[in-house]
Amino acid sequence: MTEELYEYIQKTSTVWVREQGQDIKVKDWIVPVWEEAREDWDAVLLGVPLSRSSISASAASEFPKAFRKAWELFTTYYFDEQVDFRGYKVGDLGDVKMHTTDILKCHDNIERAMKSVQQQFPASFVASIGGDHSITAPLVRAIQRKNPDKTIGIVQLDTHLDLRDLSQGPTNGTPIRQLVEGNVVKGENVYNIGLHGFYNAPSLIEAAHEHKVNMISLKQLRSKGIAQQIQEVMEQLSKKVDIVYLTVDMDVLDIAYAPGVPASTPGGMRTDELFDILFEMGKYPIVRAMDFVCIDPNRDNPALSTVKATTYAFLTALASRYIHQRKAVQQLSI
């Protein structure tokens, strides 16, 4: 084909062309791992498109696709801290394979995939993109299996405790219960931040008490201040565990800010508060993995508030890690 053809046409097709230059978009910055021979990714990204495990009907399985599509709206420059974090290398692993009707097999695939990821990229921070909250159990389990001699703690941003019993199998209401009862994580090493309102039944509160799960209400967080509260939680955890897993159920946000999360509620967190928390969490190298769950892009408003908020949150977390700990990250190995 002659060169001339492309004088007035650009190659678009169904493929995102990666661009380079002084200015790049997030879509150009995050690279499929199979396109670049590199093992020292600062972070790797894993799509986990499962939501048929959700108690109420959800299309959160569509979120990894919507999330990647939103990348063209964001740059690699973080204005609040005046820093270009493109030097932080992020590889996209693709999505965990799912079975259409065997939900347990899906969870098993997630666990196996996470184990492979850690095998292949032991020094990389792992960011998983759900899917619903049921994915957190196999993800954390994989970390524990891979690091049998390490103790794991969890920081959970959530309006719900996710401590339901297992009578209906592993759902988006059970991950913390599974991990605690499965001896993967001790209840006392779980810090649930953002609880409020009328969304946790007494039996769950009782389960939290029984397992000594730490519950920090949104009111307490606001009263103490985000920086102070996160510092206290992380100082406590640092004394007790070797690895911290951060799980963000986006239903922690107020429904005005996250209309696309089926379980979001009035009285929840504002996005600026969430971003501040994630910025603070980025200071701690002990945090080795995180996930964002329960965003149903089919229910988002036409402005895509929720998809954009999640992308903003994800970038804040990574930018903060870049600022605070890039070198440290590279020396650590979980």
Rounded Cα–Cα distance for residues 256 and 320 (Å) = 26
Q: How many CB atoms lie within 10 A of CB 220?
A: 14
Q: Write down the least CB distance from residue 229 to a second copy, Å.
A: 16
Residue 255 touching a second copy (CB under 8 A): yes
The interface region with a second copy, picked from 91-99, 149-157, 179-187, 324-332 by CB under 8 A, is: 91-99
Query: Where in 125-144 is the site for a second copy (CB under 8 A)?
Result: none
Measured CA angle at 306 (ends 304, 307), to 5 deg = 70
Q: Is residue 80 marked as binding?
A: no
Rounded Cα–Cα distance for residues 284 and 202 (Å) = 34
Size, binding site for a second copy by CB under 8 A = 112
Rounded Cα–Cα distance for residues 129 and 291 (Å) = 6
Q: Is residue 160 marked as binding?
A: yes
The interface region with a second copy, picked from 242-250, 257-265, 281-289, 322-330 by CB under 8 A, is: 257-265
Q: Is residue 108 marked as binding?
A: no
The interface region with a second copy, picked from 9-17, 233-241, 286-294, 322-330 by CB under 8 A, is: 9-17
Contact 247, 191 (CB under 8 A): no
Q: Is residue 211 marked as binding?
A: no
Using DSSP bridges, classify how beta strands 77-78 and 83-84 pair: parallel, antiparallel or unpaired.
antiparallel
Nearer to a second copy, 210 or 235 (CB): 210
Residue 188 touching a second copy (CB under 8 A): no
User: What residues contact residue 104 under an 8 Å CB cut-off, 6+ apart?
Assistant: 169, 170
Residue 101 touching a second copy (CB under 8 A): yes
User: What residues contact residue 178 under an 8 Å CB cut-off, 6+ apart?
Assistant: 137, 166, 170, 184
Contact 162, 176 (CB under 8 A): yes
Tell me: cis bond preceding 130? Omega within 30 of 0 counts. Answer: no
Query: Where in 26-55 is the site for a second copy (CB under 8 A)?
Result: 26-27, 32-34, 37, 46-47, 51-53, 55
Residue of 223, 298, 330, 333 interacting with a second copy (CB under 8 A): 298
Residue 312 touching a second copy (CB under 8 A): yes
Nearer to a second copy, 10 or 239 (CB): 10
Closest CA to 329 of 67, 246, 320: 320
Rounded Cα–Cα distance for residues 37 and 161 (Å) = 41
Q: Write down the least CB distance from residue 239 to a second copy, Å.
A: 26
Q: How many CB atoms lie within 10 A of CB 31?
A: 15
Query: Where in 167-186 is the site for a second copy (CB under 8 A)?
Result: 168-171
The interface region with a second copy, picked from 99-107, 182-190, 286-294, 325-333 by CB under 8 A, is: 99-107
Residue of 89, 141, 177, 196 interacting with a second copy (CB under 8 A): 196
Residue 103 touching a second copy (CB under 8 A): yes
Q: Is residue 324 marked as binding?
A: no
Binding site for Mn(2+): which residues? 133, 158, 160, 162, 249, 251
